[in-house]
Structure 1
Amino acid sequence: MQWSPDPDALRGRVAVVAGATRGAGRGIAAALGEAGATVICTGRSSAAGRSRSDYDRPETIEETADLVTQLGGAGVAIQVDHLDSEEVRSLAQRIRTEYGGLDVLVNDIWGAEVLKGGPAEWNTPIWEHDLDKGLRILRLGIDTHLITSHHLLPLLITKRGGLLIEVTDGTTKFNATEYRISVFYDLAKVAVNRLAFSQGHELEPHGVTAIAITPGWLRSEMMLDSFGVTETNWRDALDPGLVGGYPDAPAGFAFSESPRYVGRAVAALAADPDRAKWNQQSVSSAQLAREYGFTDIDGLQPDGWSAH
């Protein structure tokens, strides 16, 4: 029997997905919507303009909020630059006034995909790396999470049972022995796993659980564009010469996952009354799929880390 989300599993819960514009953030917001949650979608890319992300991309937080609503939840778009402490403080005040508190906080802010460069630029030693770009990676990948937690965690500890999700690339175990692209990228991704551990220590007395989660090879909008395919025909990228003008994807792309997969992992954790057993742990979407039985949107349970 094919798995399908429970449309009322998170009905009445309020979540913030920080960095919900695209990629994993949009997938997580959508999956929380599938489960009936109210999802506040934040980020810099808004139809209202004013500011943009570091990417020249068309996606907006309003599109994500609309998707949440279409899937059965209640989507709310609020433009926030998570490097701006005052903007995040204002977000917290608004949530406190309008909702009274939070049930789920997802720190998925990133924005440094362009700064990390493509494969030809990987393994550039720190003394040859552009220092300004490297430090910007750390600002976008670590400072944003700290600022957001500082202002929003007080809303999460107002009642027991809250959930903090830190989204990164690679589990603690994998990253402990693997060099990841550059010193700056490596540090950012390792640090976010540690953030879940340290914040979990501080949150546990309040009955709140903190977990780091990594997707596998994510079919984000940017990834699909790089191979000249869409979510509908993404497997064409594995067929040599079929997609003209774009690089053929390596064999590992066959085990890639849609952003909804990691989203369903977050929704499963949020719906689990025994979620505290995961506190301070670092997990993958595939690991949680095996634990909770959910599938990706194609009905499969891909594991992009299985090849490592």
Structure 2
Amino acid sequence: MSERALAGKIALVAGATRGAGRGIAVELGAAGATVYVTGRTTRESRSEMNRPETIEETAELVTAAGGTGIAVQVDHLEIDQVDRLVRRIDEEQGRLDVLVNDVWGADHLFEFGSALWEHSLENGLRLLKLAIETHVITSHRALPLLIRNPGGLVVEVTDGTAETNAEYRKESGYFYDLAKWTVIRMGLGQAAELEPHGCTAVSVTPGWIRSESMLETFGVTEDDWLDGAKKSPHFAISESPAFVGRAIAALAADPDRHRWSGQSLSSGGLAQVYGFTDIDGSRPDAWRYIAEVANAGKPADTTGYR
């Protein structure tokens, strides 16, 4: 991918305050795109997640990387707010080339190991609204702008591929599993409906991502993240948010990206195709590692997997 492969392209990363969304926005910017970054947390107000990262910080990182970052506070459950966002993009740019649906914001809502009837129903339903309805609302409002020009790309960000999620993820619980499977189907459904317009839709998953909250959980920073393997040895396969960002930037820059339409993809798998690396120069293939090493009960060893 050339350094400015996405110069002149307009992207919307819905849910770009932190984690994968921030990594995706920054890497689209590094490829030269103008990126609208949305979320609920600004320097003046925080979302229910009550974390310090803000959309303004993300926009500044996009610009520093070489693109143009534009922060817009949006609650993607509020249709009128999404309508205003899309109108603004249309008025300011007249087009939309890349839509990334990464809204989540439900880390505090799912309960590991809880059966459906044990899980808080209120929290479970709120999780589904945040993880599913936000994506539906955003695509419903943004796709008429995206399909004005052939070649548009929609990326549904999820956790796991269709293959890896084929077995019920009991440890994550019913609501989490349902949400992540649904997002995969969203990529498939949009691909079918965008086909007549010459546009592409996929679902993409990072591996074990070192989000801000994950780094805090392991008591490490991005500079010394490997120390987290002392707490959980399989953490050695983890990846930075930039890795999935580079995956999506590579997809967006690929003139033959339509070959992927409807597919469920991973950052590690796309790295093998496009040749990009994580910020440490490696290519972690987390989902293959999880299946062949972690889930197989083998000792942690990333040899051949990054």
TM-score (ref. length: structure 2) = 0.93
Alignment of 1:157-196 (within 5 A): 157-180=147-170, 181-196=172-187
CA contact (8 A) 1:17 1:107 kept: yes
Alignment of 1:268-287 (within 5 A): 268-287=250-269
Mapped partners of 1:116, 1:230: distance in 2: 25
Deviation at 1:67? 0.3
CA contact (8 A) 1:216 1:256 kept: yes
CA contact (8 A) 1:54 1:112 kept: no
Cα deviation code 1:158-181 (max 9, x no counterpart): 100000000000001111123251
Alignment of 1:28-107 (within 5 A): 28-49=24-45, 52-107=46-101
Mapped partners of 2:141, 2:127: distance in 1: 22
Amino acid at match of 1:83: L
SS at match of 1:152: helix
Mapped partners of 2:277, 2:109: distance in 1: 32
Q: Which residue of 2 aligns with 1:291?
A: 273
Q: Which residue of 2 aligns with 1:245?
A: none
Q: Which residue of 2 aligns with 1:223?
A: 214
Amino acid at match of 1:222: S
Mapped partners of 2:174, 2:195: distance in 1: 31
Amino acid at match of 2:202: I
Q: Which residue of 2 aligns with 1:10?
A: 6
CA contact (8 A) 1:104 1:270 kept: yes
Alignment of 1:73-152 (within 5 A): 73-117=67-111, 122-152=112-142
Amino acid at match of 2:198: G
Mapped partners of 1:110, 1:268: distance in 2: 23
SS at match of 2:287: coil
SS at match of 2:195: helix
Mapped partners of 2:8, 2:44: distance in 1: 28
Runs of 4+ in structure 1 off by over 6 angstroms are: none
Mapped partners of 1:17, 1:164: distance in 2: 10
Q: Structure 1: 5+ residue runs without aligned partners?
A: 240-247
Mapped partners of 1:71, 1:216: distance in 2: 23
Deviation at 1:53? 2.1
Structure 1 position 202 matched with structure 2 position 198: no
Mapped partners of 1:29, 1:125: distance in 2: 35
Amino acid at match of 2:140: H
Structure 1 position 254 matched with structure 2 position 259: no
Deviation at 1:7? 2.6
Mapped partners of 2:229, 2:104: distance in 1: 27
Amino acid at match of 1:151: R
TM-score (ref. length: structure 1) = 0.92
Q: Which residue of 2 aligns with 1:244?
A: none
Of residues 5-14 and 81-90 in structure 1, the stretch that sits farther from structure 2 once superposed is: 5-14
Cα deviation code 1:12-65 (max 9, x no counterpart): 00000000000000000011011010000000011243xx32211110000000
Cα deviation code 1:116-156 (max 9, x no counterpart): 14xxxx22111111100000110000000000001111111
Amino acid at match of 2:17: T
Aligned length: 289
Amino acid at match of 1:256: S
